[in-house]
Structure 1
Amino acid sequence: MRLIYLCSALLLLILLPRTCQGGNILVIPVEGSHWINMDILLQALHSRGHNLTIIRGDKSWYIKDNSTYYSTYTIPVHNSIDKEFILRVVSEMIDFERGAHPLMSFLGSTVGMLGTYLEGHEGVRKVVTTMLDDRELMRKLNDTKFDMVLSDPWWGGGPILAKYLNLPLVYNARWLFGGESHFAIAPSPTSYIPLTGSVCTDKMTFFQRVKNMILHILTQTQKHLVNQIYQKICDKYLGPNNDFNQLLIDADIWLMRADFVFEFPRPTMPNVVYIGGFQCKPAKPLPQHLEEFVQSSGEHGVIIMSLGTFVNELPADMANEIAAAFAKLPQKVIWRYKGSRPDTLGNNTLLVDWMPQNDLLGHPKVKVFVAHGGTNGVQEALYHGVPVVGIPLLFDQYDNLLRLEDRGGAKILTLSTMDKDNNFLTAIQEVLNEPSYRMNMQRLSRLHRDQPITPMDNALFWIEFVMRHKGAAHLKPASLRMSWYSYHSVDVALFLGGAVLLVLLSTFFLIRCLCNAMCKSKVKRE
């Protein structure tokens, strides 16, 4: 009996610290692929004993209302962002990109999408407003005594709610609605830091730098317009002295879904923590039917293709072109595709509604990944060292693929050219037959994995750090609280310029007076 008591006491001592360290986290997520990687982080937090509560809209299609590892508050809002809205945007962009000239594509992805972006943020504004108007919900959130807010800054609700509840804020971030997150908080010279959508590397020609600057101006204009949507909420619920842009950039920690194996080197900040590839992990065994299909490929290996969360089908002519190209290859193909079966589909191609992408990428028989260039897929390919044939569709996808192509690990096709002159088939054959693509991706994989702490453990440490210390104010640079003219020392430059001008003018008038005096003296002597 004493042994039983002793074992029970020992078990209690082991479990007690874990229970005491568990935090209360309020999560403001974003749908689609953003949710996929947020969900992985939430499962890891739950496994460490933290309690998770998620705010979701009633039209959410990825974030389930019932879960074993988080609880939810569902906000009943009509006309907010839903699945149909996102799919409509994707479909319109595919149709536009297929026939677009590069210049028109650039303008379409910046100016042409502005109305759609504003419509999306108006939907988020309705969710946030409905939430803040619900006194019972806000009372519950206050009574729960959360330790922090974990949010994705792609939408603007997270920082507003964190301020309203007076809680520390951590971002699971890579993108803001005004572009890549670094541009909001870190020095970002446009001379060598390409903006999202610029289709440039960090080595730009003069005209590429002109294009990059124009895009920066357009992006800042878009950001200002979106800020005005959320500023109305701040004025109503937080008071007129709360500037939304200041709330947005004032997060304690930015968990950045990138690293400098993937991203171009650039200035950064002390409260930015790099967790690129945190969702990646060693491959698990494939389901039996997939393993049998993969093994049937023999020495030729397998190609896998997926165009991401939002693209389940393609225009019929494009799907037939892709299927016909696959049919000409000796490799087996696994293609995630939910559209109508292409007429030209070969016997070597398997269509699936879903596939274990990470496990397939980690299989030794997979030779090439045909991908749209989403952050998750690109980083999984980098982690496993699989070369990529990229077909970017919208948003950041071209820029993600460009980072791999610049390092010799990918080949990019555009929607407007991929179905011409067998470009798609030629690109796949090039990546299959040129050893440098695989060698470069495997080199990047070795660099990415060679870290003292895994990206996931790094993310978990800093989330728990914020909960332990009630924030991380000591890591926030003073620049976040400075006006633009102070930050760029415009006032100092004007002051020094004025001082120099004053000295020059004083010197000029002094010399002039001396000259006049000397001339008068000379006239008197004569």
Structure 2
Amino acid sequence: MKVIIEKLQSRGHQVTVVRTNDSWYIQETSPLYTSITLEVDSGFSKDFITSFVDHLLSIHREGNAAWTRFKLKMEQGQKASLLHEKTAKLLQSMFEKKNLVESLLRAKYDLVLTDPAVPGGVILAGYLKLPVVFNVRWTSHGEGHFAIAPSPLSYVPMTGTEFSDKMSFFQRVLNVLAFVFENYQIANYITPHYRGLINKYLGPDVNYYSLFQKADLWLMRVDFVFEFPRPTMPNVIYIGGFQCQPAKPLPDHLEEFMQSSEKHGVILMSLGTFVSELSADVADKIAAAFAKLPQKVIWRYKGAKPSTLGNNTLLVDWMPQNDLLGHPKMKLFVAHGGTNGVQEAMYHGVPVVGIPLFFDQYDNLKRLTDRGAAIIVQLTSVEKDNNFLEALQEVLTNSSYRTNMQRLSRLHRDQPIAPLDNAIFWIEFVMRHKGAAHLRTESYKIPWYAYYSVDVVFFLAAVVLSNLVSLSAFIYCLCSRVCLKTKHKRD
């Protein structure tokens, strides 16, 4: 969000950010925006996320891949339920503060910009009756496309399956089961928390899903260089890699380290913000693998120093990831597979060795492996054998990975307008025209049986059946009369 807010502010727009006092990233004071701070527990505190991620990592190490994946899915669903319970209470608290609500209405905002992964902003926009723009990859109930675009399960893989758009029969069976399981989780862990709230404050005719489906614009954080081809809608604008930019000069100490790698180059490793340290045995295995390589390594890691750490490896608390990936000495990115990191690697043409941990990371890396630009290594195999070292050596020595990633980079960059500029144009478009209803399908207002033409099928079936019955009755009567005449003649 910060990237978009910076750009909006630079173009003279005034931005107000609604935040909670336990917000992890969003500061109360900033030259970019005015903040409204809610004294409410959001559920998305640093302590909550850290303990949750630690628990998920412990599940990861239990072994059995299928059972581990199922346990991870159930655990994520249960924790999501707690988060949504707190989000509903947060919204309830907001709506009960009459002075706050009146000030929001008096401000006459042009639109609400929100990430619908948590529906607080979505429901607030519905309450204020303002145009809505999503900065989106995920909604609170799944991958964004599934909320508004036709999504045939025959070639649109569910998140978590790691399938591509070319599925075998058995994979299509599993894909349907994954769809059923995800909808079961949504029905049990998410929508019940908001049903009463929406009914009370937005009205009995407002449906939870319709709040998402009537959004004016979906700024989708992928593009079809990365995503598998699938149906889409006119109000979905693809801005994949919008946060990427040409590399800036590095701080002196990092530039000196990069140059010291000479002809061998540098490997960058980061498992994202949520995983800043690992268990000692896993960290030792990773460090030992790095120590056997001629390349230098920059590893974002906050845990205790691994006992096997080689002289070629630099541990850092923070690093300018985009600028490092864009450095000519960069040879390889060891990543967890988060959307931002994958997009930055693709933008700069750096091949990936992926260690997926949870959420969408498996599927993000699957999209790169299918295009020959990455190798996936499971966390359990990192600590048990030499798979990690072999994967590093394979990507470093086999030039096809780098060639394939650079081809993706050229495709991604070859656009008539930069993704961030495209996003800003469409946000301002919604401001100018007070929405973008002409791009939005009204299908969400249609009952499910009409959407899937169930009523039409039953009507046509009834017509055909009626005609068949009538024809059968006519033939029966005709045959009866013929038989009757024949009998009379015989008599």
Shorter-normalised TM range: over 0.9
State how far apart, in whole Å, the 1-side matches of 2:126 and 2:101 are: 13
CA shift for structure 1 position 179 = 1.4
State how far apart, in whole Å, the 2-side matches of 1:232 and 1:520 are: 70
Amino acid at match of 2:207: D
Q: What is aligned with 1:105?
A: 68
Contact 1:202 1:264 in 2 (8 A): yes
Contact 1:94 1:415 in 2 (8 A): no
**TM-score, structure 2 as length reference:** 0.98
Amino acid at match of 1:207: F
SS at structure 1 position matched to 2:249: coil
Q: Which of 86, 98, 102 matches 1:139?
A: 102
SS at structure 1 position matched to 2:467: helix
CA shift for structure 1 position 79 = 6.8
Contact 1:81 1:123 in 2 (8 A): no
Q: Which of 275, 280, 285 matches 1:316?
A: 280
- Do structure 1's residue 474 and structure 2's residue 438 form an aligned pair? yes
Amino acid at match of 1:344: T
Q: Which of 401, 414, 418 matches 2:378?
A: 414
Q: Which of 52, 57, 61 matches 2:20?
A: 57
Q: How do 1:27-426 and structure 2 match up within 5 A?
A: 38-78=1-41, 80-225=43-188, 226-426=190-390
State how far apart, in whole Å, the 2-side matches of 1:436 and 1:253 are: 38
SS at structure 1 position matched to 2:382: coil
Amino acid at match of 1:354: W
Amino acid at match of 1:150: L
Q: What is aligned with 1:5?
A: none
**TM-score, structure 1 as length reference:** 0.91
Contact 2:265 2:330 in 1 (8 A): yes
Q: What is aligned with 2:448?
A: 484
Amino acid at match of 1:472: A
State how far apart, in whole Å, the 1-side matches of 2:468 and 2:269 are: 69
What is the RMSD of the two structures over their aligned residues, measured on CA atoms? 1.1
Amino acid at match of 1:296: S
Q: For residues 42-88 of structure 1, what are the alpha-carbon distances to aligned partners after superposition, in whole Å with 9 as ceiling and x for unaligned?
A: 11111111111111112111111111111111111137331111112
State how far apart, in whole Å, the 1-side matches of 2:209 and 2:110 are: 23
State how far apart, in whole Å, the 2-side matches of 1:454 and 1:481 are: 34
Q: For residues 304-332 of structure 1, what are the alpha-carbon distances to aligned partners after superposition, in whole Å with 9 as ceiling and x for unaligned?
A: 00000111101111011001111111100
CA shift for structure 1 position 421 = 2.1
Q: What is aligned with 1:15?
A: none
Q: What is aligned with 2:403?
A: 439
CA shift for structure 1 position 420 = 2.5
- Paired-residue identity, %: 58
In structure 2, stretches of 5+ residues that fail to align are none
State how far apart, in whole Å, the 2-side matches of 1:308 and 1:138 are: 36
Amino acid at match of 1:100: G
Q: What is aligned with 2:468?
A: 504
In structure 1, stretches of 5+ residues that fail to align are 1-37
Contact 2:214 2:442 in 1 (8 A): no
SS at structure 1 position matched to 2:15: strand
State how far apart, in whole Å, the 2-side matches of 1:78 and 1:292 are: 44
- Do structure 1's residue 452 and structure 2's residue 416 form an aligned pair? yes
SS at structure 2 position matched to 1:51: coil
Range moving further from structure 2, 258-267 or 74-83? 74-83
Q: What is aligned with 1:27?
A: none
SS at structure 2 position matched to 1:512: helix
Amino acid at match of 1:210: V
Amino acid at match of 1:49: G
SS at structure 1 position matched to 2:88: helix
Contact 1:389 1:411 in 2 (8 A): yes
